[in-house]
């Protein structure tokens, strides 16, 4: 009980500092708010900082790779800054004179941002940018595994805020040692909890009594149909799968290939750098990937050569980029149908497109319902069918999933590192987390010319078909 009281008081002190910083934040002035957001972006986009934080992240967590994390630190930040600079979020944000409506954006308050070990630098900055864009303050709850990296990230953000004349306490971090109790206190005391990562944290946020946004688990299946450009599909799947050693929730975990192009598609994937495991090697992968019902940290998000060695694959496999295992059925938890967070791609053979859709649905019901699917095709009807019939928020067509799912410069999705899965995933948003989730809106409503139709217009069809 004493520990709980101490944690409550420590977090309460941070909340008080955040509220004082908000009082001093010039958050009624869109230009000043945008200066704060740009300062946060520059804190991680600055080349030497992007590299240093990427190196720290790999050193701290032991997962991913430096090159990919540099790209993540810069690309996600740049894209998010582009999105944020194009919108108004404080004061009058829109006016519709013909409807007699003016909308005012206002802060939601102190944001508690729970962040994962997979992105201990990029996610805190991403959430901080969105929070401050809405005129709010933010307190980061880092993963203990990435605490050193996130602490340095927060220090850099605070330094840049001071440079542009804003209070440093607009961005804070929970003090070490971070525990479940401390994180829970933050979720209990903040005004809005935004949780990425552990589904246990998402669940606890939803039960905290605080307004909460949680995002679902990924486990992306991607279809290659008979009309796909096989080499293009293979290159994009490879580029996406190997990015940051498959740490992304948007990384392809399964590929479903139609029967009539199966061997040609497998050959294209091998040309792109995949290793096709033998039945004996598949058994070794299964025995290594899961240990006592949990993913094995010796292969989670590790370099390909290390993973191949740990899994006991042929020496030639160590020179490949990732590893394919072929399945003839969809298993359950801790099977090849589950999320793997490793350079292992499950491949299924589908009789036809209807069968491919069935396999994708079964995979998503193991893990990842609501999150995403992808398709490589030249048949627009197949893409439309997949979107109409699959319970996911995002369906990506002919794209490298990791690069398109969280926003791209060649698609319309908002840049983010947190992707909602709707009620299918137990989430409150069915969109990419974005600036609109961090503001309240006041509606100023004036009278307009009466807009009241005749009864016949609304009930006429019903009367004609069913009578009065």
Which residues are catalytic, by number? 249
C-alpha dist (Å) from residue 444 to 96, 101, 109, 436, 438: 10, 6, 21, 18, 20
- Edge-to-edge strands, sheet with 137-141: 171-173, 137-141, 110-114, 192-195, 212-214
Residue 138: name the closest of 182, 107, 179, 93 by CA. 107
Query: Could you tell me the two tokens for 380?
Result: 């627009």
Spatial CB neighbours of 120, under 8 Å, sequence gap ≥ 6: 57, 60, 61, 142, 143, 145, 146, 147, 149, 150, 153
- Whether the CB-CB separation of 175 and 7 falls below 8 Å is answered with no
Structure tokens at 45: 């986009």
For 110-136, the three-class secondary structure string (H helix, E strand, C coil) is: EEEEECCCCCCCHHHHHHHHHHHHCCC
CA nearest to 15, candidates 138, 131, 130, 107: 138
The two tokens of residue 433 are: 């987390």
Could you give the angle at which helices 353-366 and 380-389 cross, rounded to 10 degrees?
Answer: 40
Q: Which of 366, 371, 369, 329 is nearest to 346 (CA)?
A: 329
Dihedral (CA of 18, 21, 23, 29) sign = negative
């Amino acid at each position: 009980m004493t520990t709980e009281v101490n944690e409550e008081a420590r977090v309460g002190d941070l909340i008080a500092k955040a509220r004082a910083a908000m009082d001093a934040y010039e958050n009624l002035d869109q230009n000043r708010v945008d200066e704060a957001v740009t300062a946060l972006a520059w804190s991680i986009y600055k080349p030497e900082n992007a590299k240093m934080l990427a190196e720290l992240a790999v050193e701290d967590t032991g997962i991913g790779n430096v090159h990919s994390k540099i790209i993540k630190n810069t690309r996600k930040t740049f894209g998010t800054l582009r999105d944020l600079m194009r919108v108004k979020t404080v004061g009058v944000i829109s006016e519709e004179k013909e409807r007699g409506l003016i909308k005012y954006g206002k802060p939601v308050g102190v944001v508690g941002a729970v962040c994962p070990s997979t992105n201990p630098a990029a996610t805190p900055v991403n959430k901080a940018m969105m929070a401050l864009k809405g005129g709010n303050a933010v307190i980061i709850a880092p993963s203990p595994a990435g605490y050193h990296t996130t602490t340095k990230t927060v220090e850099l953000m605070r330094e840049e805020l001071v440079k542009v004349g804003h209070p440093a306490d607009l961005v804070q971090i929970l003090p070490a040692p971070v525990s479940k109790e401390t994180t829970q206190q933050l979720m209990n005391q903040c005004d809005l909890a935004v949780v990425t990562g552990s589904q246990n944290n998402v669940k606890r946020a939803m039960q905290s009594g605080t307004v909460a946004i949680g995002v679902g688990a990924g486990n992306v299946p991607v279809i290659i149909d008979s009309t796909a450009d096989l080499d293009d599909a293979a290159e994009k799947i490879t580029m996406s799968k190997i990015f940051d050693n498959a740490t992304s929730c948007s990384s392809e975990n399964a590929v479903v290939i139609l029967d009539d192009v199966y061997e040609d598609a497998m050959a294209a994937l091998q040309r792109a750098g995949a290793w096709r495991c033998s039945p004996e090697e598949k058994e070794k992968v299964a025995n290594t990937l899961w240990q006592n019902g949990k993913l094995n940290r010796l292969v989670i998000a590790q370099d390909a050569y290390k993973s191949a060695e740990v899994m006991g694959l042929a020496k030639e496999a160590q020179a490949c980029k990732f590893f394919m295992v072929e399945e003839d059925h969809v298993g359950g938890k801790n099977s090849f149908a589950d999320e793997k967070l490793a350079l292992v791609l499950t491949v299924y053979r589908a009789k036809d497109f209807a069968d491919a859709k069935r396999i994708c649905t079964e995979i998503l019901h193991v893990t990842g319902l609501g999150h995403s699917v992808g398709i490589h095709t030249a048949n627009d009807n197949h893409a439309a069918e997949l979107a109409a019939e699959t319970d996911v928020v995002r369906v990506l067509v002919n794209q490298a999933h990791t690069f398109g799912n969280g926003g791209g410069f060649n698609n319309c999705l908002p840049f983010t590192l947190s992707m909602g899965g709707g009620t299918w995933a137990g989430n409150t948003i069915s969109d990419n987390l974005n600036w609109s989730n961090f503001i309240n809106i006041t509606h100023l409503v004036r009278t307009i010319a009466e807009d009241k139709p005749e009864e016949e217009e609304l009930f006429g069809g019903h009367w004609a078909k069913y009578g009065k």
